């Protein structure tokens, strides 16, 4: 029976003394330590998939694992997942082919099928990740091409980090978020990933990290998605595959300064709607005690620290029965964002969103909605700040983002006064601007080009959207 090895775990009481990560790969000390590991009384668990597609495990002695595989084991403590490449896993597969006794130890794992309809927005499943560690030279240079994409694919696992890693103390890190969809024709696509690549480059520069070249970014996310196509939800399920690329200072520092080593990684997870209620109105509370950003800060990039500062405000709002918070600017006069999303409102059939002031994230979904609304014939005001007073006069309100797509806002409370939208209805009217934009954007992402919700869009616009917004990873058939 043949097996495909997906991951190897190593455990044993004596592992605390093994630290191959402290030595240069391939050095005498490194190889000697690996040799000691093979002689130790340690156990290995091979996570495999058999010829029938059943996942399971096989128990083995560490001494039975090929040296080519063990050379990539990182053991910073008593136990640690193996850090192995697909090519090294293949060496373990050869051992299984020639060792029937070991193969007979296969134990099938019961895997629950994914219920796409009830999937929460969370880390639900992830099997493979892309990882690349780069060092910054004395002249500031970084060799992103030193590692092939294939050699950057690893089983999803924990990182081994120095306790002095920059990210742990000074928060030198940023990330992006995007979604892959299985379209109606079976194609696997990502929505506007080049814009994510460019925004991540801007964020890296602002945080004094080496920008990831666009082609490296695209190759990494493509490899991470296509390595686990079974996690991409079926078309029409309402779920999507969330992609999380991130970059952080992994090099050790003590003083406040940029790291000299950085880790770029990508993992994915199937997700459901960001808000539990789905496309149902949520309630917001205007936040006046806390602020998410300010002039000259990092509100216009996806920096790690931007989000932790909002946790307390969100916790207090949710404890009071609200779905999210509405952020104001530092003067507490103008609306900026809603939770971690961009904010829109509709006043007398005209659409308003705040101008990009340097404190607001230039959302890719935000830009998509602005273009889509104008193509439908709506007037969109995005060239001025958005006073709270105008928002409280609106008939509709919604927020946008990769995670939420479009989420309608049913009410906003400010100073004890509640303002309701959509006529106070608990549902979003079918003929509302919010509903029309939501259905149209979803149809575009899912490739339903003949859907009636896209009527009113010119063929030229549709052609440009197909060309510039939809990145096809692979074609069905």
Torsion-angle region of residue 297: left (phi > 0), alpha (psi -120 to 50) or beta? Answer: beta
**Which of 372, 388, 365 lies closest to 436 in space, CA to CA?**
372
User: How many other CB atoms are found less than 10 A from the CB of residue 174?
Assistant: 24
- Look at the alpha carbons of 322, 327, 331, 335 in this order and tell me if their dihedral is positive or negative: negative
Q: Which residue has the tokens 């290995």?
A: 44
Q: Count helices and strands (H / E) in the chain.
A: 13, 23
- Look at the alpha carbons of 299, 304, 307, 308 in this order and tell me if their dihedral is positive or negative: negative
Q: Tell me whether residue 302 is one of the annotated catalytic residues.
A: yes
How many angstroms separate the Cα of 67 from the Cα of each of 40, 297, 318?
14, 49, 52
**Which of 133, 120, 131, 177 lies closest to 158 in space, CA to CA?**
131
Catalytic-labelled residue, pool 127, 179, 222, 302: 302
Residue 339 structure tokens: 């939770």
Torsion-angle region of residue 88: left (phi > 0), alpha (psi -120 to 50) or beta? Answer: alpha
- Estimate the crossing angle of helix 364-376 against helix 433-445, to 10 degrees: 110
* Residues marked as catalytic: 302
């Amino acid at each position: 029976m043949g097996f495909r090895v997906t991951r190897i775990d190593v455990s044993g009481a004596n592992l605390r003394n093994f630290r191959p990560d402290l030595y240069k790969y391939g050095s005498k000390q490194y190889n000697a330590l690996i040799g000691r590991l093979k002689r130790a009384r340690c156990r290995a668990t091979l996570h495999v998939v058999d010829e029938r597609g059943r996942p399971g495990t096989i128990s083995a002695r560490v001494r039975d694992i090929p040296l080519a595989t063990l050379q990539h084991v990182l053991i910073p403590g008593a136990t640690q997942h193996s850090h192995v490449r697909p090519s090294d896993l293949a060496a373990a597969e050869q051992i299984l082919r020639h060792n029937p006794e070991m193969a007979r130890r296969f134990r099938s794992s019961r895997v629950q099928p994914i219920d796409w309809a009830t999937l929460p927005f969370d880390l639900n499943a992830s099997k493979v990740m892309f990882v690349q560690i780069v060092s910054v030279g004395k002249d500031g240079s970084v060799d992103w091409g030193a590692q092939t994409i294939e050699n950057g694919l690893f089983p999803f696992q924990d990182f081994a980090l120095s306790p002095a890693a920059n990210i742990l103390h000074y928060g030198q890190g940023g990330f992006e978020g995007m979604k892959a969809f299985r379209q109606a024709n079976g194609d696997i696509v990502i929505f506007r990933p080049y814009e994510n690549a460019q925004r991540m480059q801007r964020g890296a520069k602002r945080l004094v990290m080496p920008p990831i070249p666009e082609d490296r970014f695209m190759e990494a996310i493509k490899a991470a998605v296509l390595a686990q196509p079974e996690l991409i939800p079926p078309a029409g399920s309402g779920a999507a595959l969330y992609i999380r690329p991130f970059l952080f200072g992994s090099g050790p520092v003590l003083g406040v300064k940029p790291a000299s080593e950085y880790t770029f990684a990508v993992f994915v997870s199937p997700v459901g709607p960001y808000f539990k209620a789905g496309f149902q109105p949520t309630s917001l509370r205007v936040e006046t005690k806390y602020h998410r950003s300010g002039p000259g800060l990092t509100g216009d990039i996806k920096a790690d620290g931007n989000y932790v500062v909002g946790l307390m405000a969100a916790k207090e709002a949710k404890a009071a029965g609200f779905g999210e918070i509405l952020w104001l600017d530092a003067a507490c006069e103008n609306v900026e964002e809603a939770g971690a999303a961009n904010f829109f409102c509709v006043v007398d059939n005209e659409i308003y969103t705040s101008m990009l002031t340097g404190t607001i994230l230039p959302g890719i979904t935000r830009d998509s909605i602005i273009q889509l609304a104008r193509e439908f014939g709506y007037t969109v005001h995005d060239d001025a700040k958005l006073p709270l007073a105008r928002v409280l006069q609106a008939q509709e309100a919604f927020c946008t983002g990769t995670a939420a797509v479009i989420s309608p806002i049913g009410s906003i409370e400010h100073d004890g006064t509640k303002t309701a939208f959509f006529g106070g209805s608990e549902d979003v009217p079918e003929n509302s601007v919010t509903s029309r934009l939501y259905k149209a954007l979803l149809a575009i992402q899912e490739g339903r080009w003949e859907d009636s919700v896209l009527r009113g869009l010119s063929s030229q616009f549709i052609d440009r959207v197909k060309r510039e917004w939809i990145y096809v990873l692979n074609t069905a058939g």
